[in-house]
Amino acid sequence: MRIMVTGDLGYIGSVLVPKSIERGHEVVGLDVGYFKDCNLTNDSNGYKRITCDLRDVVKSHFDGIDAVIHLGGLSNDPLGELSPNITYEINHRATVKFAEIAKSAGVKRFVYSSSQSMYGVSDSDAELDEYNSEKNPVTAYAAAKWSAEQALNKLNDEKFSVVSFRPSTVFGASPRLRTDIVFNNLVACAFTTGFIEIKSDGTPWRPIVHVQDVCQAFLAGVEAPKTLISGKAFNVGVKNGNYTVRQIAEAAARACPGAELTFTGEHSDPRTYKVCFDRIHNELAEHFKPEWDLEKGGNELMRFFEDINFTEDMFRGRQTVRLAQITHLIDEGLIDSNLRFIGD
């Protein structure tokens, strides 16, 4: 199958592309290039790439494309709050227009990388499911993701299958690593400084999932029978994939023997929620078989850091912190206030 992967030069895309090629798919990448220079390795897969802002996509970009896996967009709450209007423009308006053009061009499947952030802050101890749990997005990023998912669902029909995957917070090694996400951040901090400091008491809950398992879910959206995925949404995570912050921090400390772990309790953290993953494990059981847990992922990150001689400057710098990279591009006059490359 010929798959277009948007955001192929991002954290997840840099893992998904080689995984897709290994599975026998032909890949066409489409990315504006904000993070193209954030590669920590020299890996090159030699696939076809299109450098294009999502807002500028045209019908000819989809020539010969059978399916789209749409990862592209502004990737987290801090980036979203940098410019809420631009976040809505890219993550909602441009995403929906992109899907409409793909549909008109004859693309058969559209796999959308949605987000669990749409659930917002939960005051319940119950696990949140895809359809019955209230959606309460509290950030520009979350609101744009949820509104886009709803609009994309309206495009679903017999000829154009739309499926939305809502990943837990992702962790694990990638050529374009992010350290602004929780487990990667804690292991990187332990590796580069020897310390992990948690400012809460560690009791809030977080669902997290390995990047390789997330990529497996996206590929299930391409490879599973249409009847299993069309018009549906799936939370993405492993069984028992909800962890307290304390459990996550302790796993990071175990990955880096000798690291000092402290919980100061000085800040309360209202962001606590658990997510239910029964749907993906029941309905896509033949296509989604996650293989990673915190222990395996922590050991992988440690090997990765050792192999690339990872430093504290890299941990805290723009190569691995997405907001820092976007701020750098703005400060250097490379992109404007609308996050468009100057001169394009």
Residue 340 domain-assigned (yes or no): no
> Is residue 79 scored above 70 in pLDDT?
no
Residue 126 domain-assigned (yes or no): yes
What local confidence, expressed as pLDDT, does residue 108 receive? 98
Both tokens of residue 213?
């398992």
Stretch 206-233: mean pLDDT: 98
Residue 144 domain-assigned (yes or no): yes
pLDDT digits (tens, 9 = 90+) for 94-117: 999 999 999 999 999 999 999 999
Beta partners for residue 197, in sequence order: 262
> Is residue 266 scored above 90 in pLDDT?
no
What local confidence, expressed as pLDDT, does residue 48 receive? 96
Residue 157 domain-assigned (yes or no): yes
Residue 344 domain-assigned (yes or no): no
- Single pTM value for the model: 0.96
Where residue 77 falls among pLDDT bands split at 50, 70, 90?
low
Residue 66 domain-assigned (yes or no): yes
Give me the amino acid identity at 90: I
> Is residue 235 scored above 80 in pLDDT?
yes
Give the percent of the chain with pLDDT over 90.
85
Torsion of CA 176, 182, 187, 189, to 10 degrees: 90
What local confidence, expressed as pLDDT, does residue 52 receive? 97
Domain count, the chain: 1
Where residue 151 falls among pLDDT bands split at 50, 70, 90?
very high
| Pick from 311, 203, 200: nearest CA to 262 | 200
Least confident of 85-99, 128-142, 179-193: 128-142
Stretch 245-264: mean pLDDT: 95
φ, ψ of residue 248 to 5 degrees: the values are -65, -45
How much is the mean pLDDT over the chain?
94
Q: Which domain holds residue 165?
A: 2-331
Residue 321 domain-assigned (yes or no): yes
E strand segments, 188-259: 195-198, 205-210, 233-236, 242-244
Where residue 139 falls among pLDDT bands split at 50, 70, 90?
confident
Residue 158 domain-assigned (yes or no): yes
> Is residue 78 scored above 70 in pLDDT?
no
CATH value at residue 77: 3.40.50.720
> Is residue 344 scored above 60 in pLDDT?
no
What CA–CA distance (Å, rounded) separates 196 from 287? 37
Can you say how many angstroms the Cα of residue 288 is from the centroid of all Cα atoms in its chain? Answer: 17
